[in-house]
Amino acid sequence: MNDDFRNEGARRVGQVKEITSLANPIVKDIKALALKKARDETKTFMAEGLKLVIDALELGWTIRTLVYSKAAKGKPLVEKVAARTVASGGLVLEVSEKVMSSITRRDNPQMVAGIFDQRWKALKDVKPVGSETWVALDRVRDPGNLGTIIRTADAAGASGVMLVGDCTDPFSLETVRATMGSLFAVPLVRASAADFLKWKGTCGARLVATHLAGSVDYRTIDYRSKPVILMMGNEQSGLPEDLAGAADALARIPQTGRADSLNLAVATGVMLFEVRRHLLTLDGSR
């Protein structure tokens, strides 16, 4: 935790609203964030847990509302987060356990949750250089897979995750939970397949697409001479021809046993850490 954060806690918490009723309109608005429509309209989302909220603030995310349960009142870190929320113009809600359960849809809820502005990086601003590795996901459907991939991309030092085509929402509660906080550290980009292909033509990176029928063993690819875009296919149908056809290499992870394929998130993890292994062999600094 940085010093800025500690010092801020010394300020007095400003206005705090107490809410005990499930019928309160603010509670209803927060509960509505379970729906993509409400998240899209407000361009916000909810993340649970004090550590996550602190990490998000330290990484410069804008908090709109901080919610904490009565049991968390007076805890120094909660007071600090509350002070920071108020200082940045956000709302602080102290709620009953019942309201917290209802907002987070859990029987044993976290004591703290934050409503944050969504953040997207524009595709045109992605200019991979050096040893950067980006993950591009074709129509990822499963929120758990997406969250796990964002978390893994963070752990493997990837520069960001691109959502290509109609993907599940990275700001859904389920995905945010599965990222375990990495959502706040990994830039996200969204693009249609057509825009992605246009961008790929000019970005100067190497597109390595994974494919069950790939002709190249993933361990033999050169991941070091150019930045890498690692493209992964949809859970059910794999990569469509236009995306596979644009790849500079079609990589296959050799399997044994009876399984047809690896789970998408597992395959992404295997690939990301293979790229990382290659990069580390060249330059031990990462």
Chain residues binding ligand SAM by CB under 6 A are: 210-212, 214, 232-233, 235, 237-239, 252-253, 255, 261-262, 264, 267
Report the distance separating Cα 165 and Cα 258, nearest Å: 31
Cβ closer to ligand SAM: 176 or 264? 264
Report the distance separating Cα 195 and Cα 123, nearest Å: 9
* Closest CB 261 distance from ligand SAM, rounded Å: 4
Largest CA distance in the chain: 62
Which residue, 279, 262, 173, is CA-closest to 226? 279
Cβ closer to ligand SAM: 44 or 148? 148
Cβ closer to ligand SAM: 114 or 233? 233
Q: 119: which 2 tokens?
A: 């953040």
Return all residues near 2 (Cβ < 8 A) that are at least 6 apart.
58
Cβ closer to ligand SAM: 9 or 240? 240
* Closest CB 3 distance from ligand SAM, rounded Å: 44
* Closest CB 263 distance from ligand SAM, rounded Å: 6
Burial 212-241 (b: 16+ CB within 10 A, else e): eebeeebeebebeebbbbbbbbbbeebbee
Cβ closer to ligand SAM: 181 or 214? 214
Report the distance separating Cα 112 and Cα 178, nearest Å: 17
Cβ closer to ligand SAM: 96 or 261? 261
The burial class, CB within 10 Å (0-12 / 13-18 / 19+), for 162 is: buried
* Closest CB 242 distance from ligand SAM, rounded Å: 14
* Closest CB 191 distance from ligand SAM, rounded Å: 17
Q: Which residues, in sequence order, are bridge partners of residue 191?
A: 164
* Closest CB 131 distance from ligand SAM, rounded Å: 22
